[in-house]
């Protein structure tokens, strides 16, 4: 079958697969004692050795290859000499470019055995993303995606971050449309086959308010509560969806075994 978008989907799948392979690869290295710079370096090399490039590097002045967001960091945590410790939870967010196309995906990792609290938050965040993905098909509205996520996590007492959203993605890293992770059913633009975008809910244990640190990137919860995020890059097909960033190892959420 030839669609006008099949060439684009082929490339998105290749880039998405490299991004998810990078997360698969780094899983074994995420242990107490490792620095977030080490994670950055290993992923940078892995992506390069596999024919890609890390999209965050040099993106709007960003100086690292990926984001490492720990504990109360909501997103855009910058790799540093910071050493991971027992009980930390961390999101690693990879964007690989291959042949001009982008694959953008992130997962949570737990150092040691997570607290019940952290575990509940992480599971709810993963489930919320997957619930939203499962409704994807031509004809639904953008608001249906947000509603799926918001109603699920708020029911559990968690909150949806408002200040960051998913995004269209293809040969451009961040493009139209914005994919809000909250919203009302049957509102917003209609999904059409051929669209490619990310779903990447950031869910807070406490309130949804965030603030940006002085480095200009790191977003943290204002109330210092824990935050979790997962991200997939997806495409809308004739009658459903395709996930471009699915793990070859079937790694979904922690524990990765
Ligand atoms: N990967 C992030 C996203 O999901 C964007 C990171 S941009 C950076 O959209 F510059 F902060 F790395
Ligand atoms: Co990302
Ligand atoms: Co993204």
Could you give the CA distance from residue 161 to residue 256 in angstroms, rounded to a whole number?
26
Among 20, 36, 75, residue to substitute to test ligand 1 (most atoms within 8 Å of Cβ): 75
Q: If you average pLDDT over residues 233-247, what whole number do you get?
A: 98
pLDDT at 251 over 60: yes
Could you give the CA distance from residue 174 to residue 76 in angstroms, rounded to a whole number?
14
Contacts (Cβ under 8 Å, ≥6 apart) of 1:
none
pLDDT at 2 over 60: no
CA distances from 16 to 104, 165, 200, 231 (A): 7, 19, 14, 11
Contacts (Cβ under 8 Å, ≥6 apart) of 138:
190, 191, 192, 193, 236, 238, 239
CA 176 to centroid of chain Cα atoms = 17
Share of residues in the chain with pLDDT > 70 (%): 98
Q: CA triplet 182, 154, 233: central angle to 5 degrees?
A: 45
Q: Is 92 in the pocket of ligand 1 (CB under 6 A)?
A: no
Q: 21 phi and psi, to 5 degrees? A: -60, -35
Contacts (Cβ under 8 Å, ≥6 apart) of 137:
191, 236, 237, 239, 240, 241
Question: Kind and range of the H or E element at 235?
Answer: strand 232-236
pLDDT at 1 over 60: no
Structure tokens at 33: 């004692």
Query: Is the previous residue joined to 255 through a cis bond, with omega within 30 degrees of 0?
Result: yes
Ligand 2 centre to CA of 1 (Å) is: 31
Q: If you average pLDDT over residues 50-74, what whole number do you get?
A: 98
Q: Is 40 in the pocket of ligand 1 (CB under 6 A)?
A: no
Ligand 1 centre to CA of 89 (Å) is: 19
Q: Is 77 in the pocket of ligand 1 (CB under 6 A)?
A: no
Q: Is 62 in the pocket of ligand 1 (CB under 6 A)?
A: yes
pLDDT at 144 over 70: yes
Q: Are 152 and 199 in contact (CB under 8 A)?
A: no
Question: Kind and range of the H or E element at 242?
Answer: strand 241-243
Q: Which atom of ligand 1 lies at the shortest distance from residue 95's CA? A: 1
Q: Are 77 and 108 in contact (CB under 8 A)?
A: no
pLDDT at 134 over 90: yes
Could you report the per-residue pLDDT of 203-218, keeping only the tens digit for each?
Answer: 999 999 999 999 999 9
Q: Rounded to two decimals, what is the model's pTM?
A: 0.97
Q: What is the DSSP string of 64-115?
A: SSSEEEETTEEE-PPP-SPBP-TT-EEEEEEEEEETTEEEEEEEEEESSSPP
Q: If you average pLDDT over residues 228-253, what whole number do you get?
A: 98
Note the pLDDT of residue 3. 57
Tally of residues, the chain: 257
């Amino acid at each position: 079958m030839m669609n006008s978008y099949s060439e684009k989907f082929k490339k998105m799948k290749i880039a998405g697969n490299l991004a998810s392979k990078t997360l698969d690869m780094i899983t074994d290295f995420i242990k107490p004692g490792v620095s977030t710079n080490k994670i950055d370096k290993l992923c940078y090399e892995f992506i390069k050795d596999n024919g890609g490039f890390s999209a965050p590097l040099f993106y709007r002045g960003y100086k690292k290859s990926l984001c490492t967001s720990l504990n109360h960091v909501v997103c855009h945590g910058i790799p540093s000499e910071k050493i991971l410790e027992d009980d930390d939870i961390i999101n690693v967010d990879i964007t690989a470019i291959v042949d001009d196309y982008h694959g953008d995906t992130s997962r949570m990792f737990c150092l040691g055995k997570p607290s019940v609290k952290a575990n509940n938050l992480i599971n709810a965040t993963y489930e919320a993303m997957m619930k939203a993905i499962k409704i994807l098909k031509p004809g639904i509205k953008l608001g249906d995606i947000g509603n799926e996520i918001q109603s699920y996590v708020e029911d559990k007492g968690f909150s949806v971050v408002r200040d960051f959203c998913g995004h269209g993605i293809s040969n451009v890293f961040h493009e139209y449309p914005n994919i809000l992770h909250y919203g009302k059913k049957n509102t917003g633009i209609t999904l059409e086959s051929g669209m490619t975008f990310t779903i990447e809910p950031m869910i807070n244990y406490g309130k949804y308010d965030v603030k940006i640190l002085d480095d200009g990137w790191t977003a943290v919860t204002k109330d210092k509560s824990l935050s979790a995020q997962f991200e997939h890059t997806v495409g809308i097909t004739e009658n459903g969806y395709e996930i471009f960033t699915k793990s070859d190892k079937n790694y979904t959420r922690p524990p990765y075994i």
